[in-house]
């Protein structure tokens, strides 16, 4: 057995059945070993960025580790953006990066780049493997690191000679490292938190990506119901409480809903679970939840008091943390002190639920999301690109299940959606997967259509095509007096022809009435299928918090109500 075979055997032992990658000189021994086995499937992407985003989509749809491969030098540097993205969104992936033979390290050999060092600030941990016998224990340790505690990416740089040398002695003991050690949530703090929530007059809950990762959506929803407490969700928590649940207020922050931002700004107790309080969520930090005692539950204690001060910090995995809270809440006598607050929030929620079934031509982005809400089956996995369409989807799409809305949140990596959809399809072949995108982001990774076709991973794409980088355009309009530069894309490429040239099917949609049937067809398509939806670029229909502005001082969309400053009567 050589190093490459040991690497594959070690991954197989961890249950890995799928890898995404691209070969090259330094990793050819690994590919040769892959060719001689059938337990592990290799999905051949067309760019390493596609491979890493596919691994992310695979991991986020299934919870299982996503693995990607890039050769030394440019192959590995092309992985780096996705590794950074996975680090921001705490995604459990392992990046296998080729390296020149160890005797050439530091000699500026062909395709030598110090990718090990490049990944250090972007991973939970990076390994440098220079001996074949290291693979079993390094791989075992890498899986443990990627998947325990707060998940995240792990990089393994492998010299070519490590991949080819024989493994004389098999040793797969985990390396002695400072691994995450699970701990039970502190019972005194849990009791205190439950009491605070029960006695609150204006309680709010907030779920972050940690609730998704911990598969704690049911517990989160049950707690909201037990407390009769409204809940906000960040972009990575969409679906942990169903989007159409009466207690779900949905998105908060810069592109959030007015009701959600106002409710958070006026609540007296905020239970925040598995969130790092990103600047896109908090807006100007001084005006974020200024009246609230914050109960912060997170698996990563370094998140406490980083952005928002916690009144009560509970270090725990979201699932046991929420379970314990629920147990205490259910056991307690409750007096329902928040009835008046609930009525006020409910009324504002009603006012902020505008009609998005708009009939204009060109089609409004809201209308596309409205039709997706109506016609996508409940088990459809929605991935998104990055841009305006992503914010529309976050704002208006009603995700009904966790892990069914996959998007580049923290890093905002354009080009994420299509490869992530391909990865999600590899993980969940029985479920329809649709990339809600738009052309500016999509064109950065459109070569991955070849992957979808040749690897028989039929995803659909709903391309909200408006000819602009619409967020850049919006910011240039609002904050730079309409001096547009480098934001107009025009009407190239022809997305129907492009898709067809890759061997997929495509349909151009120009009228709102055509959307329903087109989306139904996309959801049941068994080949790559793209809807080129010609949409309006003229303005934003959503409220927007200006950068570093306060969440309650939003620039309003056309149909947004004006919320009185003292609507909740809180001083």
Partner 1 sequence: MQTVQLESRRMHTLVFHVQNNHGVLQRITGIFSRRGLYLTQFYFNGRPNGLTEVQVSFEADERMREHIERQIEKLLDLVP
Chain residues that interact with partner 1, rule: CB under 8 A? 116-117, 120-121, 124-128, 145, 176-179, 300-302, 304-306
Residue closer to partner 1 (CB basis): 116 or 495: 116
Query: Minimum CB separation from partner 1 for residue 183, in Å?
Result: 13
Q: Phi, psi at residue 77, to the nearest 5°? A: -65, -30
Residue closer to partner 1 (CB basis): 28 or 285: 285
Query: Minimum CB separation from partner 1 for residue 124, in Å?
Result: 7
CA distance 508 to 382: 20
3-state SS, residue 392: helix
Residue closer to partner 1 (CB basis): 116 or 392: 116
Residue closer to partner 1 (CB basis): 176 or 486: 176
Structure tokens at 384: 């998104």
Query: Minimum CB separation from partner 1 for residue 99, in Å?
Result: 12
Q: Phi, psi at residue 511, to the nearest 5°? A: -120, 140
Residue closer to partner 1 (CB basis): 148 or 287: 148
Query: Minimum CB separation from partner 1 for residue 125, in Å?
Result: 4
Q: Count how many residues are written for the chain.
A: 571
- The number of beta carbons lying within 10 Å of the beta carbon of residue 431 is 16
CA distance 545 to 547: 6
Structure tokens at 49: 């960025």
Structure tokens at 257: 């809903």
CA distance 10 to 140: 7
DSSP H helices in 148-282: 160-164, 187-199, 209-213, 217-227, 258-266, 279-282
For 32, 281, 541, 568, the CA distances from 257, given in Å and listed in that order, are 52, 11, 11, 16
3-state SS, residue 225: helix
Query: Minimum CB separation from partner 1 for residue 293, in Å?
Result: 19
Query: Minimum CB separation from partner 1 for residue 413, in Å?
Result: 19
Sheet with 18-21, edge to edge strand ranges = 41-44, 18-21, 66-70, 93-99, 154-159, 125-129
Query: Minimum CB separation from partner 1 for residue 153, in Å?
Result: 13
Residue closer to partner 1 (CB basis): 223 or 312: 312
Residue closer to partner 1 (CB basis): 178 or 335: 178
Residue closer to partner 1 (CB basis): 111 or 307: 307
Query: Minimum CB separation from partner 1 for residue 551, in Å?
Result: 22
- The number of beta carbons lying within 10 Å of the beta carbon of residue 430 is 6
CB 120 within 8 A of CB 50: no
């Amino acid at each position: 057995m050589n190093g490459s075979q040991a690497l594959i055997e070690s991954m197989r032992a961890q249950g890995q059945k799928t890898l995404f990658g691209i070969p090259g000189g330094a990793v050819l021994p690994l590919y040769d070993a892959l060719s001689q086995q059938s337990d592990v499937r290799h999905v051949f992407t067309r760019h390493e960025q596609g491979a890493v985003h596919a691994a992310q989509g695979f991991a986020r749809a299934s919870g299982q580790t996503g693995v990607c491969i890039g050769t030394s030098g440019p192959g590995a540097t092309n992985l780096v953006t996705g590794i950074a993205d996975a680090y921001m969104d705490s995604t459990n992936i392992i990046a296998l990066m080729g390296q020149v033979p160890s005797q050439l390290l530091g000699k500026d050999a062909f395709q030598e780049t110090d990718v090990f060092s490049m990944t250090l600030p972007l991973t939970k941990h990076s390994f440098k493997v220079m001996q074949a016998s290291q693979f079993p224990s390094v791989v075992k340790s890498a899986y443990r690191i990627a998947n325990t505690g707060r998940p995240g990416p792990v990089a393994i740089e492998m010299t070519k000679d490590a991949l080819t040398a024989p493994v004389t002695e098999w040793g797969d003991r985990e390396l002695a490292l400072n691994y995450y050690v699970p701990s039970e949530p502190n019972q005194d703090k849990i009791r205190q938190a439950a009491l605070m929530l029960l006695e609150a007059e204006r309680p709010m809950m907030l779920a972050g990506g940690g609730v998704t990762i911990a598969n704690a959506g049911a517990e989160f929803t049950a707690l909201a119901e037990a407390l009769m407490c409204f809940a906000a969700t960040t972009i990575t928590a969409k679906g942990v409480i169903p989007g159409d649940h009466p207690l779900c207020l949905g998105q908060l922050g810069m592109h959030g809903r007015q009701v959600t931002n106002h409710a958070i700004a006026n609540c007296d107790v905020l239970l925040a679970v598995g969130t790092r309080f990103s600047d896109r969520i908090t807006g100007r930090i001084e005006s974020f939840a200024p009246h609230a005692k914050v109960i912060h539950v997170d698996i990563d204690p370094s998140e406490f008091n980083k952005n928002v001060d916690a009144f009560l910090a509970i270090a725990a995995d979201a699932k046991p943390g929420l379970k314990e809270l629920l147990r205490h809440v259910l056991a307690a006598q409750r007096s329902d002190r928040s009835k008046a607050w609930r009525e006020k929030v409910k009324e504002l929620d009603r006012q902020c639920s505008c009609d998005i079934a708009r009939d204009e031509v060109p089609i409004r982005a809201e209308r596309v999301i409205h039709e997706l809400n109506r016609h996508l089956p409940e088990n459809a996995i929605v991935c998104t690109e990055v841009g305006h369409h992503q914010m529309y989807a976050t704002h208006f799409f009603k995700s009904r299940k966790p892990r069914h809305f996959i998007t580049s949140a923290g890093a905002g990596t354009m080009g994420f959606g299509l490869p992530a959809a391909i990865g999600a399809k590899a993980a969940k072949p029985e479920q329809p997967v649709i990339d809600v995108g738009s052309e500016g982001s999509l064109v950065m990774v459109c070569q991955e259509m070849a992957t979808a076709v040749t690897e028989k991973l039929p995803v659909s794409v709903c391309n909200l095509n408006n000819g602009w980088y619409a967020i850049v355009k919006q910011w240039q309009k609002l904050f730079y007096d309409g001096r547009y530069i480098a934001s107009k894309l025009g009407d190239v490429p022809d997305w129907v022809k492009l898709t067809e040239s890759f061997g997929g099917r495509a349909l151009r949609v120009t009228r709102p009435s055509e959307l329903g049937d087109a989306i139904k067809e996309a959801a049941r398509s068994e080949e790559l299928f793209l809807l080129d939806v010609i949409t309006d670029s003229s303005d934003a229909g959503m409220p927007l918090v200006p950068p570093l502005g306060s969440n309650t001082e939003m620039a309003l969309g056309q149909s947004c109500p004006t919320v009185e400053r003292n609507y909740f009567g809180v001083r």
